[in-house]
Structure 1
Amino acid sequence: MTAHVTDEDTAADTAATAAGGAARAASTATTAAIPVTVAPVPVTAVAPPAPVPVTAVAPPAGTPTAGPGAPPTRVRPGRRRGWAGTLRRWRPTPWPALRATAEQTFRATLLTAFRPTLLTVATAGAAAGVAVGPSGPTTAAPAHAAGAGSTGTKTGAGTKTETKTKTGAGTKTKTKTKTKTGAETAAENRTARTAPLPPGPATAPWRPRFPQGRGLEAVSLLYLLVQLTLVVPHLAHVLGWDETVYVSQVDPRTPAAFFSAPRSRGISVLVSPVLAVTDSVLALRIALALLSTAALYAAYRVWRPLLGPVTTALAALVFSGLWIAQISGPEAMPNLWVALGAVAATGLFLRAPREPNARWWLATCLAGVALMRVPDAAWLGLPLLATAGCVRSHRRTLPYLLGGLAVGATQWTVEAYSRFGGVPQRLHVSGATEGGMHPHLNFYNAWRSLNGPELCRPCSGPVHHPELTLWWLALPLLALAALAVALRERRTGSPADRTLVPLAVAVCLSVPYLFLLSYSAPRFLLPAYALLALPVGGLLTRAARPRPALAVTVGCLVALQLVAQYPVLHRMTAQVASLDQRYRVAADDLNALGLRAPCLLVGSHAQPVGYDAGCASAATKGNNRNITPSSVLRRAERMPTAVLTTDARRPPHYARDWTRHPLPGTDGWTAWLAPAPGTSR
């Protein structure tokens, strides 16, 4: 069948082509109004049209041949090598994609300031092939959409080559080359019919992008602010008992105190750079506050891809809001660092199957935890090793787990053989120092020491503020609720390991302190608190997200918990500062009595007082027993020696003939000073 086209149709098509896209709608209406006669005709073979000769079109006058503004070089398809192939493979970035990249790169402030300029550039780029309409960016329709049987080719210098083929009673081929100016080309593009671009980043409406997920940074800064304003001013002059043991190992100005079997030297390594520069306690406190803040951010930052920014920030807020976490930040104690290392190691363990680099960081965190406390590192590695052995996707982490633990425990193992005769012997001595590691329910002692004192041994005092311990009683219930929700969502295909693994690690880290010891301290359960904050934070976020009223309730409860920790923090910092100040006063009194370095101090509080006085410390009984009475007498013949007693107690039998000196300002402490070396006894 052959369609007969009238002369009026040809004239209308010619007029529409000359007038541009604006007149094509009228041409289409005219063509639709003309009756078209269709008659059956015999089908005859039509010879294909002769190939159109390709002729080079010279660019307009004044167009540069090289440099900026020069037309793109046409390269033959067959040449793929050299500079010609490079030019052929190069494609300029489309303007919509360039605009989307700029919006994603610049911050909201820069986008707001330079938005008019960006829109001007984007509009100028759109004039070259993209028109902006009411419904978003659109692209010009191809030339063959203007009329049946027509094709158009457009070059960069305003040159247009159009070929029309019409079939009527015969075959007609028409080739036309036309050179247009830039103004005519822009006018034609503005009036051409447009079609929407496919959906994608380039078609998204412009919106300013504001930084999101900064909750964890805000929590970290708040944690630092609390330490510097509420903790450091009270502890800025004197170190505590256990702190003096760790610090004296690397302080070049004082003799090293007795280092018992349960301790590890990680915290001594941590503070050694500060002590190599200064002996200021204030500088040490500030440095530890900064380091603990950075560690808090880094540990919970690992969980942001797993739980999201809101849940991660809430978990960090719940943990850092505890008074024991705040007072432990500027202290030279290992428990907080074990807690943050456990949080980071658990998160990296969950990310290791999808991120190979996380395995190396996992080994590093485990080595750091083992350097801080080897027993805690063993309890931390137990659930991780069990999970890696049972879950196929985690089996590649086994060498990293074992390697990290081995590297971190190397120093502890070497010391075990050099000082105690082996690892079993050190573990035996460590258990004896702790009062015997045997099955023992220690929940009551842990609850009684929740709000102080810092060391409950023995736990015989009253419970301080029992109404402020409700959160501790509710913590197991919240953990069980998070476990139930995770198991229920597991049936629907949601991953449950992000809840199960931190719960398992928290339980394992709390086993020795809740089932094996007979005394307690609030800092012992810091690793468990840090890990339980993650599933509890996820539970609270999941419950509050779809319900605004419940979200307000959860926010009020969290705020109430944070505010309730302040009275405990205030009382404990005052109590610790008072005890540490007593150590300082006793050390000054001993220096006034002539006990100066090199000297020896023996007694129950000999370690902290001896560190402040610049003397070596020793004990003839108790958990830190490291010297015999005969050794004390021999050393008293060579250096100034004194025995320190509390509560007006009588001195030991070997010091009954020594001079008694009450120490004012220490609540009844007494120093028994040995005769000066070289004098008759």
Structure 2
Amino acid sequence: MGGSAHAALGTADREHERPASARPAPAGRPLAAVAVAFTLAQLQLVRPGMGLGWDETVYVSQVSRHAPAAFFSAPRARGVSLLVAPVAAWSSSTALLRTYLAVLSGLALFLALRAWRGLFPVRVLALAGGLFASLWVTLFYGPQAMPNLWVAVAALTAVACFLRLGADRADRAGRADRAALWGLAGSALLMAWMRPVDAVWASLPLLAVGLRRGHRRALLVLTAGLAAGAVQWVAEAYTRYGGLARRLADGAAIQGGLDWHLAFADQLRGLGGRTLCRPCAGALPHPLLTFWWFALPPLAVLAVVLAVRARRPAATALPLACAATAAFPYLFLLDYAAPRFLLPAYALLAVPVADALTRLAAARRPVPRPVLAVLVCAGLAVYLLVQAAMVLRVAGTTTAARRSWARTAAELHRHGVRPPCLVTGHEAIPVGFAAGCASAATTGPNANTTVAGILRTARRIPVATLVPAGAAPPGPLVRIALLTACPASPSLRTRSLYPDRFSKSL
């Protein structure tokens, strides 16, 4: 791999631009422009005022003073909580948190693209960044407190740094790329910090190449970074979840079990605007919304063919291999889907696909070059229009849904359920956080208490149990909890609390 990576570096420089050492400083400006556009697009299309989602609430509550920490289930890792701590630890402003994450994700994208300089021309990297950053899933999750985008940019950086270290090994002078060493260590740590299991899947080709080719330095740095990022998660497995094997088993159970399941159709349904497809049924979205998804495999194959002809297969094949392993569990082992699950794969595909598109537009045979260029540009224009429309649609519906949680929290306050307090039942985690209350569940993946425990709590502080509008209250729990919740508030004694309305069924 080392020789191939070195060949990749030399070929890219000779064919497209001057060597990195001779390149002027402004060469990085296109990458910075993509990163800035990515940040501004997030703030304009998603809007900082969008409330926190269910998973975001769990992560943010671990460091926020606004409400007690929500139950932290086995599959989750603490990386997002630490990422948002500089803002969430002292401010409850969602707009401020969104702005902070939008700026941070733009910076992360710039650093990830910059790590590839010298391996591919800057114009290819700028196109790659634009393709990935304009994807509606990327835009939607960029300003959110969720881990998948951070795994994506970290994986993209890790592959580039690994390739650079391979090129250094092939260099007869044996010069070490210190930036690549630190970049590989830091990106591996970030991946494992955010999602340890996903980090292993995305790193499998790097580990395999490192073992086979004898890249001891790169292999040592990669494994050290992964271990450092996962050490807290592993330690917590023994202190809170009964051991590492038990935590992995519990995490798999919460995800419905890991078994052979072709989830391609599920992922396609998610691309139609469903942020979580579980259960995943219904019609597939219009082909106009998913044509780019079907274009990825042939473009990846074309990228490999072109890379082999250019005598630089490693720089193309390695990110494609990492994309395949990162996507594997979500395409073959889960019986549900969420578009964000494949963000690491999309990020790793972006550079080879952008290189293939660039070379395709510049080709002269058998189709005239101007015709190819027009076709490529037309395809990109349709892609951008579709992604912009999708992110506006998803952000709009999501914002409206999350406002209902805020309205429910306001109703809780109006009826005397104020901190310190406890919320249980339907959507208790996001509603409880919005109200400044603790949340609890007696069943399901977030079960952390019992009915008896809730009733004991109700003798000390206000307690409310939420049920979906129109559903029957869970008898004894709602009746007793609400009767004892606020002795000073007689109105609560005859009311069963619903998310958006009240019923006098008791």
So what's the TM-score if we normalise by structure 1?
0.65
The structural deviation recorded for 1:483 is: 2.1
| Secondary structure of 1:414 counterpart | helix
Q: Cα distance 1:672–1:379, how it changes in 2: closer, same or farther (>3 A)?
A: farther
Question: Which one of the candidate residues 599, 611, 618 is aligned to 2:433?
Answer: 611
Residue correspondences, number:
456
In the other structure, the counterpart of 1:410 is 231
In the other structure, the counterpart of 2:53 is 240
1:436 aligns with 2:436: no
In the other structure, the counterpart of 1:320 is 133
| Secondary structure of 1:385 counterpart | helix
Which whole-Å deviations, capped at 9, do the CAs of 1:340-385 have from their partners, x for residues lacking one? Answer: 0000011001001314311232011101110111111111221111
| Greater percentage in helix | 2
| Structure 1 gap segments, 5+ residues each | 1-208, 675-681
Q: Cα distance 1:638–1:461, how it changes in 2: closer, same or farther (>3 A)?
A: farther
Following the alignment from structure 1 to structure 2, what is the Cα–Cα distance between the partners of residues 598 and 536? 53
The structural deviation recorded for 1:591 is: 0.8
In the other structure, the counterpart of 1:449 is 270
Amino acid at match of 1:288: L
Which whole-Å deviations, capped at 9, do the CAs of 1:12-52 have from their partners, x for residues lacking one? Answer: xxxxxxxxxxxxxxxxxxxxxxxxxxxxxxxxxxxxxxxxx
Q: Cα distance 1:508–1:484, how it changes in 2: closer, same or farther (>3 A)?
A: same
In the other structure, the counterpart of 2:115 is 302
Following the alignment from structure 1 to structure 2, what is the Cα–Cα distance between the partners of residues 462 and 556? 27
Following the alignment from structure 2 to structure 1, what is the Cα–Cα distance between the partners of residues 113 and 442? 45
Q: Whose Rg is larger? A: 1
Q: Cα distance 1:546–1:481, how it changes in 2: closer, same or farther (>3 A)?
A: closer
Following the alignment from structure 2 to structure 1, what is the Cα–Cα distance between the partners of residues 225 and 423? 40
1:223 aligns with 2:38: yes
The answer to whether the 8 Å contact 2:419/2:437 transfers is: yes
The structural deviation recorded for 1:441 is: 1.1
The structural deviation recorded for 1:590 is: 0.6
| Secondary structure of 1:475 counterpart | helix
Following the alignment from structure 2 to structure 1, what is the Cα–Cα distance between the partners of residues 354 and 64? 41
Q: Cα distance 1:213–1:560, how it changes in 2: closer, same or farther (>3 A)?
A: farther
Amino acid at match of 2:276: L
Q: Cα distance 1:670–1:499, how it changes in 2: closer, same or farther (>3 A)?
A: farther
Which whole-Å deviations, capped at 9, do the CAs of 1:417-465 have from their partners, x for residues lacking one? Answer: 0011210010011011111111211111111111221111111244444
| Secondary structure of 2:125 counterpart | helix
The structural deviation recorded for 1:211 is: 3.9
The answer to whether the 8 Å contact 1:642/1:673 transfers is: no
User: Structure 1 residues 625-634 or 399-408, which shifts more?
Assistant: 625-634
User: Structure 1 residues 346-355 or 649-658, which shifts more?
Assistant: 649-658
Question: Which one of the candidate residues 515, 533, 536 is aligned to 2:353?
Answer: 536
Q: Cα distance 1:614–1:213, how it changes in 2: closer, same or farther (>3 A)?
A: closer
Aligned-residue identity in percent:
47
Amino acid at match of 2:495: R
Mapping 1:270-349, distance limit 5 Å: 270-349=83-162
In the other structure, the counterpart of 1:545 is 362
In the other structure, the counterpart of 1:562 is 384
Q: Cα distance 1:426–1:554, how it changes in 2: closer, same or farther (>3 A)?
A: same
In the other structure, the counterpart of 2:209 is 387
Aligned-pair RMSD on alpha carbons?
1.9
The structural deviation recorded for 1:388 is: 0.4
| Secondary structure of 1:460 counterpart | coil
Following the alignment from structure 1 to structure 2, what is the Cα–Cα distance between the partners of residues 291 and 673? 49
User: Structure 1 residues 456-465 or 217-226, which shifts more?
Assistant: 456-465
Following the alignment from structure 1 to structure 2, what is the Cα–Cα distance between the partners of residues 258 and 481? 46
1:524 aligns with 2:341: yes
Amino acid at match of 1:215: P
Q: Cα distance 1:534–1:419, how it changes in 2: closer, same or farther (>3 A)?
A: same
In the other structure, the counterpart of 2:15 is none
Question: Which one of the candidate residues 451, 458, 468 is aligned to 2:289?
Answer: 468
Which structure ranks higher in relative contact order (CA pairs < 8 Å, sequence separation ≥ 6)?
A: 2
Following the alignment from structure 2 to structure 1, what is the Cα–Cα distance between the partners of residues 103 and 28? 22
| Structure 2 gap segments, 5+ residues each | 1-23, 169-175, 483-493
Following the alignment from structure 1 to structure 2, what is the Cα–Cα distance between the partners of residues 241 and 383? 33
Question: Which one of the candidate residues 581, 590, 594 is aligned to 2:416?
Answer: 594
| Secondary structure of 1:643 counterpart | strand
Following the alignment from structure 1 to structure 2, what is the Cα–Cα distance between the partners of residues 655 and 218? 56
User: Structure 1 residues 451-460 or 543-552, which shifts more?
Assistant: 543-552
Q: Cα distance 1:646–1:566, how it changes in 2: closer, same or farther (>3 A)?
A: same
1:504 aligns with 2:321: yes
